[in-house]
Amino acid sequence: MKNLQERTQLNSTSIKNWVGKKVEEKTNTELKVLFEEEMEKSSSDFIINEIKRLNPKVRIKTDSDRWLIFSSVNIEDLILPEWFYFNQKNWITNKHTTKSGIYGSVQVYPIEYYDPNLI
């Protein structure tokens, strides 16, 4: 029969291993959730739907691939989803604001350029 110190040591090691596995599982789960959230928020569908939701009075059209936005207002006047910004090339993106490095972007043009026959 093991003495109390040996049993305590064994239990302590077992607990340490168990806790280590739980921390690893939780970390992996959290990373997976972060990855999935950022993938979703970086999709062009998410970006376009959010822009439409935040700008209900703005006429917005998209191309069939949903990477181009045609807006009835200037890009500077659009309300963008949180963490998104636009750059000098007229792209709305979250490139430098993600935790995982996964980012999305859509390009914006004036609504006058929209032609459903060409897109």
Using 50 as the pLDDT threshold, list the residues of the chain that sit under it.
Answer: none
Tell me, what's the pLDDT at 94? 82
Joined together, the tokens standing for residue 82 give: 């949180």
The whole-model pTM stands at 0.66
Tell me, what's the pLDDT at 80? 93
Task: For residues 118 and 86, give the distance between their C-alpha atoms in angstroms, rounded to a whole number.
Answer: 25
* Residues 111 and 71: beta-carbon distance below 8 Å: yes
Tell me, what's the pLDDT at 51? 92
* Angle, CA 41 vertex, CA 40 and CA 47 arms, to 5°: 115
Tell me, what's the pLDDT at 44? 84
Q: Phi/psi at 100 (nearest 5 deg)? A: -100, -15
